[in-house]
Amino acid sequence: MNASAAQVFKALTDPKIIRKWSGSPAKMSARKGAAFELWGGEMFGKNLEVVKNKKLVQEWCTPAFRSKATFIIHANGRSSQVELIHEDVPAKHYKDYVSGWKDYYLGAIQQLFGE
């Protein structure tokens, strides 16, 4: 991403910035154990692990299933690389989540930073 690790971390955890890239209000915090909601509660969960500017691990919940999303931010000067590990996604939802990450989440964050 064309942004520092600190900027990427804020894009993942600051509700004002999340609203910019998602187009929807969000409830989010950079605290371990904090609950969150995205897209009007369509996606919700809690932060399991938070390492400022480096790592965010979240329990992700939908009405259909629970999963775990891990974002690892690798700083590279003025830019960053985000490694995403999304575990426990049922096979029937896999393709939708792959495109969702690209189109509506990490891809939207990249667009926020001018990529």
pLDDT at 77: 85
**pLDDT tens string 69-101:** 999 999 998 899 999 999 999 999 999 889 989
Q: Which CATH class is domain 5-112?
A: alpha beta
Q: What angle do CA 110, 114, 115 make, to 5 degrees?
A: 55
As a whole number of Å, the CA-based R_g of the chain is 13
- Return the domain boundaries, the chain: 5-112
Evaluate if residue 115 carries a pLDDT over 80: no
Residue partners of 17: CB distance under 8 A and separation at least 6: 10, 11, 112
> Taking all residues of the chain, what is their mean pLDDT, rounded to a whole number?
95
